[in-house]
Structure 1
Amino acid sequence: MRPRRRSQARLLAALTWGGSLLVPALTGCRRDEQAAASSTVAIGVGAIPGAPNYAQVVHGVELAVARLNETAGGPRFRVRLPDSSASSAVQVAQQLRNDPAVIAVVGHPESGSTLEAIPIYADAEHDGANGVVAVSPTSSSPRLSGISPWFFRVAPSDADAAGFTARWVLDSLRARRAAIVYRNDSYGRDWAETFAAGFVRGGGQVLSRNPYLTGIVEWDAYAALLAAEQPDVLLFPGDGADALALRRALRVRGVRVPFVGGDGAEGMKADPEAAGAYYVAFFDERHASSAEAAAFIPAYRGRHGRAPDMFAALSYDAAMVIGRTVAAGARTRAALRLALSRIGNGAPSVDGVAGRIAFEEDHDIKGRTVVVTRIPGVAPLDDEMTVPGAAAPPATRGRR
């Protein structure tokens, strides 16, 4: 997920919410004390403006802030957006960390951006003196487990999600010969490696693992290779748009193979050409039954005219666990970090859209649900080797 250049003019981010104009406070010293003394605290959006899924992250945080202000008690909350000039994860992190009003950050949605930004949020240069908590909604790289005391996440690690998917492919699709086409970044490589290891352990054979770079790829060449290999299943940890492009190339060559996208491929589900494909998700509104889901899903539909996706739902959850913990008394950045680390380790869990929120000792989410979903409908040349029904049953997983 790549940054897009914006005007270099520095703009103060402003957000109209509930009829009032919300403007971030200026950078200053004694940040924890100033944030604690303020009657309004800000939750920052740690995502690159204009990048894929940025809007969904913002929408999720906005609705969480509205919900917190209705129900949480304590300080009022507001959204702090990064300046529109920010074109990298590091720039976003610097802006949010240096804003004394920001009590914590929701982000980043991508593992690569998160890995770049964590040293900034942790203020590693000054041994954490001005650190700020970052709670990622969807970063899933195993390399993030325990990476920093200032980092938490509400999505399962790829070590869980990809490993579960390997077993699901073996047991439900009864596939034994897999091909993998993966986006050549930390997300795609981690997914491919973990899936392959679990698939082989379960008795399967990985025929090939082929990386790709978005925008620099000849999909027909990949389709030709898959036509020659004739796998039982194709795993695709990549973007939704790239998944659709590969499926078109496969159809041109008449290749019939069950297609299983990783969680990054969720965006393909809105396109009719994706009918019949599977994808892995950390949230599916059809399986969401919590009290927060009952509030969030209709609110999101009413505001945006469509169902929320994984990025919006888990951004809401990340903001909610921040806000509930602040409302319970953690009014400084340092106090919030310690309080979050105790959730699930002596302190009660927090209700979220995708389930209860509690953290492992390494700050990974405990026991989150992974759903393998089949996109409804029938597309040309879809293989008939599918699980009956529109969706695979959800599986609740802890850490392996």
Structure 2
Amino acid sequence: MPRLGVAGNLQSMLRRRWIVIATLVWTPLLSCDRGQPRAVIGVVFGSPEAVRVAQAVIAETAQEGEPVILLQHDQRATPSPDLTFRRAEWVLALPDLVAVVGHEASGSSLTAAALYHDAGVPLIVPTATTPLLKGKPGVFPLAPNDSLQGAFLAQFAAHQLDASRASVFFVTDEYGYGLRRGVVEEFVRLGVEVIDEVPINTSSNVDAMAAASLARGKPDVIVAAARYPEVWDLARAVQARARDVRILAGDGADQMPDALQRAGAAADSVYLSVFWHPDVADSSGLVFIHRFRLLTGRQPSAVDALVYDAIMVTVAAIRAVGPDRRRVTRYLERLGVGRPGYEGVTGEIDFRPMRSRPILMIQSHQEETHVVYQP
């Protein structure tokens, strides 16, 4: 893929004829040559800013004779399996569909994967971390799974924070159970005592549950296999009672800057594992950051970078082999196996079973986050 310059008016790029983005409504390209092949990528995810940046880059790098690549974007939340099915059915009905990027969560990705597989549509999953996606035909997860992330959190607690006692809070869904399992298994291996395990959900009184857990025993660290806002409410509750206890959490809690504002002074007690951060950006990452900030006025998050990479590796596949579902699937399967990996913003991308993807530890300081540990 050619290196991209940072100059140019991104807004004008969005009006070029090569690409269109829509939310829930199919909008045809009136200016396209009717004889030119088209390839639709269904993006079933939030992060509209990352989609807009990808849209601009696709427009800028389009070559004569290539398929016209269209992004169709459904950014609704997925609170139930029923809505997940409806979203999958919507995207599968799109004309010229070649691949899907999504869904947001582990549970919704697992639910939808079977539908896409039956239709022969490859699914590129930016952020879902369940190990159950591993090895599913036609499914290509970018993020490290819960077992790897859980082991990373436990190792950081033991080796970097010298923790010997830990409590674990976890949400009662696929993400929480999976991350908790990875953390606890690694704590057992490392000889760290788990003194309390506390299930929580979005309606829990986190303050009361934190107080009760600390009364049962004070740990060196609390690992929160949870999301925003529960992790940050937990940090505030713990810091009010035990200022020396540190909170470790996974990627699901990464919602900046809202998280830092919600936790207030307690935010500095939280260590967060993420899969990318602007601090570690290489040259292509710096270009992405520049484009993203020009378009949105803010720094990109790890989720933004992963969504962008998921779209762009799919674009690379379509440009290499054409708008054919089977060929695109085969192209993605062979990345790193007889074909070089794709150089993405978040690192080299391939989908080998034993591949290694980066996990970083970040911490807030003066209302900003920075990488504090990189294996």
Alignment TM-score, normalising by the size of structure 2: 0.84
- Does residue 1:352 correspond to 2:344, yes or no? yes
Matches within 5 A, 1:227-376: 227-267=215-255, 269-271=259-261, 272-273=264-265, 274-289=267-282, 291-360=283-352, 362=353, 366-376=355-365
Partner of 2:125: 136
Partner of 2:67: 75
- Does residue 1:163 correspond to 2:151, yes or no? yes
Distance in 1 between the 2:233 and 2:78 partners?
30
- Aligned residues of 1:161 and 1:370 also touching (Cα < 8 A): yes
Partner of 1:391: 371
What's the C-alpha RMSD, in Å, of the aligned pairs? 2.7
- Aligned residues of 1:41 and 1:76 also touching (Cα < 8 A): yes
Give the CA deviation at 1:354: 0.8
Amino acid at match of 2:336: G
Distance in 1 between the 2:160 and 2:75 partners?
46
Partner of 1:219: 207
Give the CA deviation at 1:219: 2.7
Give the CA deviation at 1:22: 5.1
Distance in 1 between the 2:215 and 2:340 partners?
52
In structure 2, stretches of 5+ residues that fail to align are 1-11, 28-33
Give the CA deviation at 1:146: 1.0
How many equivalent residue pairs?
A: 344
- Aligned residues of 2:53 and 2:295 also touching (Cα < 8 A): no
| Alignment CA distance shift 1:109-1:38 (3 Å) | farther
In structure 1, stretches of 5+ residues that fail to align are 1-15, 27-35, 48-53, 124-129, 379-388, 396-400
Give the CA deviation at 1:270: 3.6
| Alignment CA distance shift 1:158-1:337 (3 Å) | same
> 3-state DSSP class of the match of 2:69?
strand
Alignment TM-score, normalising by the size of structure 1: 0.79
| Alignment CA distance shift 1:353-1:270 (3 Å) | farther
- Compare 175-184 and 162-171 and name the one that shifted more: 162-171
Partner of 1:120: 115
| Alignment CA distance shift 1:259-1:84 (3 Å) | closer
- Aligned residues of 2:270 and 2:363 also touching (Cα < 8 A): yes
Give the CA deviation at 1:156: 0.8
Report % sequence identity. Answer: 29
- Does residue 1:63 correspond to 2:59, yes or no? no
| Alignment CA distance shift 1:115-1:37 (3 Å) | farther
- Aligned residues of 2:235 and 2:270 also touching (Cα < 8 A): no
> 3-state DSSP class of the match of 1:201?
helix
Distance in 2 between the 1:237 and 1:354 partners?
23
